[in-house]
Amino acid sequence: MPSDHERKRARFLRHHGDKAKPVAIVCTNRETHKRVHLAAVTVFTAEGVVELSEVLLLRKSGSGRVVPADNNFASPLVRVPRTGETIAEALNAAATWEFSCPKCGRTPRVRKDWIIDAGRRGAKLFDVSHHG
């Protein structure tokens, strides 16, 4: 039986087709620790826009199970660098995001252009440790 996240993702892709690409934002500290999911985004390739997805992903340490975050669609793992805001509207308007990895403590700043380029290339994962 598919999880709630998988059902929402399948429904989203049915409605948006090839124009929207889901990309998981992760940190591996350049492959020195296990993958930690920081956020899930959607890259709209035709418009060149990236937005936070409806369901943000977090990886539980130890179990390796992916679980949805709370329902306010804001994540303490991603924020706007200058203001520190974590709400989806502020993040979608910002040109740069700052991620915070709970496992390694890194806080790389990533331009949304880099995430858009990864989505256009068809990447399903974007590792912030290689870009920040």
For 49-81, what is each residue's pLDDT tens digit?
888 765 444 444 445 555 544 444 445 788 888
Range name among 1-10, 15-24, 86-95 with the lowest pLDDT average: 1-10
- From residue 53, give the alpha-carbon distance in Å to each of 12, 25, 71, 120: 10, 11, 12, 17
CB 126 within 8 A of CB 23: yes
Give φ, ψ of 73 to 5 degrees: 60, 25
For 78-123, what is each residue's pLDDT tens digit?
888 888 888 878 888 889 999 988 888 888 999 999 999 998 898 8
Q: What is the pLDDT of residue 109?
A: 93
- What is the separation of C-alpha 84 from the centre of its chain, rounded to a whole number of angstroms? 17
pLDDT at residue 1 tops 90: no
Cα 80 to Cα 97: distance, rounded to the nearest angstrom: 5
Q: pLDDT tier at 47 (50, 70, 90 boundaries)?
A: confident
50: burial class by Cβ within 10 Å (0-12, 13-18, 19+)? buried
The two beta strands, 49-52 and 109-111, are unpaired
Between 67 and 7, name the one with better pLDDT: 7
pLDDT at residue 11 tops 70: no
Cα 120 to Cα 15: distance, rounded to the nearest angstrom: 19
pTM score, two decimals? 0.70
Q: What is the pLDDT of residue 37?
A: 85
